[in-house]
Chains A and B, each alone.
Chain A
Amino acid sequence: MSRFDWLSEFLARLHDENVLVRRGLAKALAPAHVLVIDPEDWAKAAAIAAEFGCRWAALWGDELGAKYILYMVLEYGGDYLALRARIPTENPVTPSVVPHFACADRMERHIHDLLGLTFSGHPDDRRWTRHQAWPAHRFPLRRDFPVEGESPDPTPPDSDYPFRRVLGGGVYEIPVGPVHAGIIEPGHFRFQAVGEEILQLEERLGYVHKGIEKIAQGRDPSALVRLAGRVSGDSTVAHAWAACQAMERAARCQVPRRALYLRALMAERERVANHLGDIGAICNDVGFAFALYQLSRLKEQWLRRNQQLFKHRLMMDAVLPGGVAVNLDAEQIDALRADHRRLRAELHTPFDIIDDHPSLEDRLVTTGRLPADAARRLGVLGYVGKASGQGFDVRRDNPYPPYDSVPVTVPVYAEGDVAARVRVRMEEITITLGIMDKLLDTLPTGEVQGLWPAVTRACEGLGCVEGWRGEILTYVRLDETGRVMRFFPRDPSWLTWPALEQLILGNIVPDFPVCNKSVNGSYSGHDL
């Protein structure tokens, strides 16, 4: 099967439905194929894409001159398709695609809150990212909105958000957050329950909105990567890489192959560290502290090696535009190989125990089930998707170097419960250890930092990286002096947060922490 061999059929269907596709810009976001359409055809094109079987992946808006640009990214057979439309500024209304892609819900509301585009026919007109830091009629991402804000007054709490309530005898409501009982990020959860059973969960996020899209504007590439590395601290390597990839594609920067291998090595190390921590934490949430202490011990050793070889325990600021900030000598490579052998041997027993422990099984099997059809409808990614029959992995399905030469196998399960999500993550650690060995065995020689080319024309690029949570899509637009004009990193959490609302239904309230941990959405990566 070759790339985009389905596109002619898709274009024929658009043509049949009288959707006019304009020429030009097709390669502007390579490897995605861009189709420019009219705004009035926006929802119709989405309907055709949904029927065609496309996965909905991302949506962002941009203010360009006297118009708005809307981008929607879809994926089919591993190929990315980007639909682009120009929205007039005097009446920025576009038909909503939510009737066709339920997962577009929060991203459309986010764009409305930040850029002021209206999506007509959206089934939910409540604010999402906006709380009370700016008024409903003002839009921070617009050029006329000052980055420092318009009012120095303290921001009141968002206390009148209209949650949906379940009525009936014995139904009660449990508000949780934004400050949670554990050491975790802030967000609000509103449960409707009868006895112990959860009838409905509504998430209210946006508490850690830090204006990342706004403060990205005007930065040079290095400053943008520093910010990208702080979109979600646990995914610092993956987000920094995705931002670099987007800018490198835009500016046509050649990255030395050794640097790409080192980026992959760091991204895989990030995957191992987070999986180790989370598997332990999931087990601990059901009272199995053994796994937490064993795995956090191994994680700590792993982070100390990061500090030693990559100058930072989380490898922050190690990925730079055009290359990486670190290099490895032969002795360090041998040390890493020995680490991999040791970790493999050390994980054998705890993984075996987790896999075959009746009291764990009792708590994790059938808990927090996300059926495959719901996962597909929600466009769920990463280990949440893989545990529910959705095996998409950018490294395998749209391989970016060095994964074009390092094969990736993807574990997929159909069960969709917490146990399956744990199993996917245990297997991913094992697979990743193999990938890292291969990266070290075939590590090219040469430079680790390429030359950043002088940018003399406005350009844009799309980064597609498989972080440990799943696919990260990052859009960057540079102006003719090479400054960042638009940055939108779509963390996979955008798609997994809504899945938590689904998979928790019918579970008992005390199982919420373990269900939440098994999904582990990033609040910061979502709230931006």
Chain B
Amino acid sequence: MLRILRTTLRTGVITEPVSVVDDELVRLGIKVKQVLDARFGGSLALREVDAGSCNGCELEIHALNNPYYDAERFGVHFVASPRHADALLVTGPVSRHMAAALQRTYQATPAPKLVIAAGTCACDGGEFGVTYASCGAVANVIPVDVSIPGCPPTPLALLKGILAAVNRRS
């Protein structure tokens, strides 16, 4: 136990001050705080749905929660059920085998709801396009509010996209 505490204390807080990361992020961050405080009760509950991705996007979405980015400090957190979600963060070209599950997840999310398409495949089908197995872009299956390109989008790009999505509604 002492070793754990010692390591934790020695590591210290490594979460990057927003100003170091990106000026745009600071501006968005402050605005988003206001929006979230005013309209989302202080926090944005995100439900991630992999609708057919290669799992590259998931790695970067995971990174959003690592101690460097720590998206929760902006009030952005991931929830286990669409029923608890304010917004869906959808990755992948939507495989035909996932189309119904994505629609049901969308229906299970209480309105008003936001949909963020994350990654090049989610934006336009990417490398997989529209085929016998793939519906292509997320927008071909459910309405999309904001798209975040990138293969995969970096954690910073994801964060900007999420912040842009909540700003849009304001």
| A and B interact | yes
A410 → chain B closest CB, angstroms? 26
Known: A233-B152, A313-B154, A314-B152. A185 touches B132 (CB 8 A): no
Contact of B101 among A178, A212, A214, A299 (CB under 8 A): A178
B147 sits at the interface (CB 8 A):
no
The residue on A at minimum CB distance from B89 is A183
B19 an interface residue at 8 Å Cβ cutoff?
A: no
For B130, what are the chain A residues with a Cβ–Cβ distance below 8 Å?
A: 148
Name A331-384 residues within 8 Å CB distance of B: 349-350, 352-353
- Let me know if B50 and A316 touch, CB within 8 A: no
- The answer to the question of A300 belonging to the interface, with a C-beta cut-off of 8 Å to chain B, is yes
Task: Point out the residues of chain A lying under 8 angstroms from B117, CB to CB.
Answer: none
Contact A186 B50 (CB under 8 A): yes
Name the A residues within 8 Å of B100 (CB-CB).
Answer: 154-157
User: Are B132 and A214 in contact, with the CB atoms below 8 A?
Assistant: yes
CB closest residue in chain A, given B58: A183
B149 part of interface (Cβ distance < 8 Å): no
A182 within 8 A of B: yes
Question: Any chain A CB within 8 A of the CB of B78?
Answer: yes
- Neighbouring B residues of A52 by C-beta, 8 Å: none
Residues of B within 8 A of A350 (CB): 7
- For residue A157, which residues in chain B have a CB less than 8 angstroms away from its CB? 100-101, 104
Q: Is the CB of B151 within 8 A of A316?
A: yes
Q: How long is the Cα–Cα vector from A26 to B50 in the complex, in angstroms?
A: 43
Contact with B along A179-191 (1 / 0, CB 8 A): 1011111100000
Contact of B105 among A146, A179, A210, A234 (CB under 8 A): A179
Would A181 and B80 be within 8 Å (CB), given that A208-B95, A210-B133 are in contact?
A: yes
Chain A interface bracket (under 10, 10 to 19, 20 to 34, 35 or more): 35 or more
Q: Are B132 and A140 in contact (CB under 8 A)?
A: yes
Q: Given A299-B66, A353-B7, A214 and B133 touching (CB < 8 A)?
A: yes
Complex contact A226–B127 (CB within 8 A): yes
For chain A residues 293-335, which have a beta carbon within 8 Å of chain B?
A: 293-294, 296-297, 299-300, 303, 307, 313-314, 316
Instruction: Indicate whether A211 reaches chain B with its CB closer than 8 angstroms.
Output: yes
The answer to whether the Cβ of A150 comes within 8 Å of any Cβ in the partner chain is yes
Within the assembled complex, what's the spacing in Å between the Cα atoms of A230 and B59? 13
Verify if B31 is at the interface (C-beta below 8 Å from A). no
Q: Which residues of A contact B102 (CB under 8 A)?
A: 179
Q: Any chain A CB within 8 A of the CB of B166?
A: no
Selected contact of A149 from candidates B51, B127, B131, CB within 8 Å: B131
Asked if B131 and A147 sit within 8 Å, CB to CB, the answer is yes
Is residue B61 contacting chain A, with contact meaning CB distance below 8 A?
A: yes
A133 interface residue (CB < 8 Å to B)? yes
Contact A179 B63 (CB under 8 A): no
A185-B58 contact given A353-B3, A353-B4, CB 8 Å threshold? yes
* Chain B interfacial positions (CB closer than 8 Å to A): 3-4, 7-8, 11, 14, 48-63, 65-68, 78, 80-82, 92-93, 95-102, 104-105, 126-135, 151-152, 154
Having A150-B132, A211-B134, A230-B128, one finds 11 other A-B pairs with CB under 8 Å, namely A134-B132, A146-B132, A181-B80, A183-B62, A185-B53, A185-B58, A186-B98, A208-B50, A297-B67, A352-B3, A527-B97
21 A-B pairs whose Cβ atoms sit less than 8 Å apart in the complex: A132-B96, A145-B132, A157-B100, A184-B58, A185-B50, A185-B55, A186-B101, A206-B97, A208-B50, A214-B131, A230-B126, A230-B151, A231-B54, A234-B55, A277-B62, A290-B7, A293-B67, A296-B67, A297-B66, A314-B56, A353-B7
Using a CB–CB cutoff of 8 Å, the interface residues on chain A facing chain B are 131-134, 140, 145-150, 154-158, 178-179, 181-186, 206-212, 214-215, 226-227, 230-234, 236, 277, 290, 293-294, 296-297, 299-300, 303, 307, 313-314, 316, 349-350, 352-353, 522-524, 527
